[in-house]
Structure 1
């Protein structure tokens, strides 16, 4: 049972506490830190970013917790680490951000045209990576690399007929490992591209226009499948899959930010609010956002750090409090 709008601040505090109480892999630490940044809680963002650097492995990947097999996930911590490298000039953060960039730019495995793989031991490209690496690259000033990643991922994963992203592509075998149009995956793509757009300079107007079109296509493709309750199925175009909460939060967040950036017109806010209200009803008395793609395997309904974090991101975007 949700709290209702009159207790929004209480809900936010409880959702945050539940998030901070959860065990987190590298990308979960990163999206948690991003949620703190965008909601204006710089003190907690600082602490999360600091621990991501403390757990940086020898390759330069941030926040590694037995998930060093991932190529891009750890870069989700990048914006928070870079923010405090800039504001504090603390060598811990400065070197942490530099090492993460070095991994992405010079060491990480990638396709012949430069698209970063998602895992170190297989030539696989995952839709998740839209959110993990490109925003950090753009914010760090490597805007061309951020755009290159978006183009590389979209070329392989976008289904122009379904107007949705598939999940996993095997570059070596040139086949899909998972062709399903995963809702959270499309949410990662939309949210990641919106963050890149916010970071690209005006001098890259052509790229901004192109990516703006990609964002609109992604959101439009998902909205075709929105349920009456404002949520989506786990695989958005497969009604036999479970009803899932986080895709709605991610898309709601993306719409609010895209409208603020002038990428979408105000008519989309009706959908954003509908999805937001649906998510609000999924918050229980402990601050747990129920019904999201559940950690640790993400193959069922339950709870997850990223579901908590995107509630905070969505609410911050809806209230116009995003710190960029």
Structure 2
């Protein structure tokens, strides 16, 4: 790897490498890659994303969860106490791309698959206030779900049933209530309802990236007159202000965002670049410092793309401390999503 700048050729290389990955058994990891491929707007990569979406529908479970329902063994779960980890929210992340292709094609297959995934949550045991637990084993809210489910719910509200808007807002409000620290504006990783505790309380960079990108993507779809907009914008701006102050001089953010002894890490950096640039362009953030921070973030990450198009320095799953750095499908997707916000990252 060598120092590179953002160019269509570099983005093309990343996208091509992404399409060559084996993502059959992935759910949330693949979902970000799908969103990134669609964001290129290049027919070759959009068609590749559609093939992956079609396969995700073909492997939708009877319960309604897309792409094998997060029931497969995950090789990384032994790194944590969650040796029996079974995701509950993660497959819904693929639903956003499913609805993208419903919007593009108007084909009922995509609408019906999205409806089954949306209705899956009707039967999920929730917190007392209606929060959707991220895993089956315990009633816990994880910050990941702000990206995994809320933009899907909002797009469902836009294209299928307006009830999706209210569901998206409710989940973000509850996540913010329990996970957003009132002193810093940053989000913690996980809150457990009973006993009331934070089993993972660090300010994890990618976790805060999930929150920032998920809230922003939801806002993009939420009607201007929806009563939940103000709450989401407020939570987003508090998080953005806190994250802006913690960007390293290199342009990266640290893996644990407020701990400068942890590694400089690319996925969180790309997520903040994506969210800051999009929010600045949309007028959600008005200070030009956010656009500058976004540019610095994508620029430094160009230097970790190898000659094959693999994006390195991505903290591997699961979230939290002491995870190794490597190459992942979601890292590829976040590079493509961040690049899509800049003119020199767009493909012809």
The TM-score normalised by the length of structure 1 is 0.92
Matched, 1:217 2:238: yes
Match of residue 145 from structure 2: 129
Instruction: Give the paired residue count.
Output: 319
Q: Distance in 2 between matches of 1:140 and 1:2?
A: 42
Corresponding residue for residue 325 of structure 2:
301
Shift of 1:145: 0.8
Structure 1 position 172 matched with structure 2 position 173: no
| TM-score, reference length from structure 2 | 0.86
Aligned: 1:99 with 2:116: yes
Runs of 4+ in 1 over 6 A off after TM superposition: none
Aligned equivalents of 1:181, 1:242: Cα separation in 2 = 14
Q: Do the aligned residues in 2 keep the contact of 1:115 with 1:149 (CA within 8 Å)?
A: yes
Partner of 2:343: 319
Q: Aligned-residue CA RMSD in angstroms?
A: 2.0
1:145 to 159, 167, 174: 167
| Mapped pair 1:56 → 2:60 | yes
SS at match of 2:87: coil
Which of 280, 284, 295 matches 1:273? 295
Question: Any idea what the Cα deviations from partners look like across 1:146-178, whole Å, max 9, x if unmatched?
Answer: 000000111111112132111011112110010
1:82 counterpart residue number? 99
Counterpart pick for 2:224 among 202, 213, 219: 202
Give the gaps of 5 or more residues in structure 1: none
Deviates more, 1:243-252 or 1:81-90: 81-90
Alpha-carbon shift at residue 20 of structure 1 (Å):
2.4
Instruction: State the alpha-carbon separation in 2 of the partners of residues 240 and 320 from structure 1.
Output: 33
| Higher relative contact order (Cα pairs below 8 Å, separated by 6+ residues) | 2
CA shift, 1:67, in A, is 3.7
Q: Which runs of 5+ in 2 are unaligned?
A: 73-85, 158-163
CA distance in 2, matches of 1:196, 1:321: 23
Residue 271 (structure 2) aligns with? 250
Q: Indicate the residue corresponding to 2:20 in structure 1.
A: 21
Deviations 1:237-292 (A, max 9, x none): 11232221111100000011112221011512111101111111111112111111
Checking the alignment, whether the CA contact within 8 Å between 2:316 and 2:326 is kept in structure 1 is yes
Whole-Å Cα distance in 2 between the matches of residues 283 and 128 of structure 1? 25
Paired position in structure 1 for 2:183: 161
Q: Is the 8 A contact 1:38 1:321 kept in 2?
A: no
Distance 1:199 1:297, change over 3 A: closer
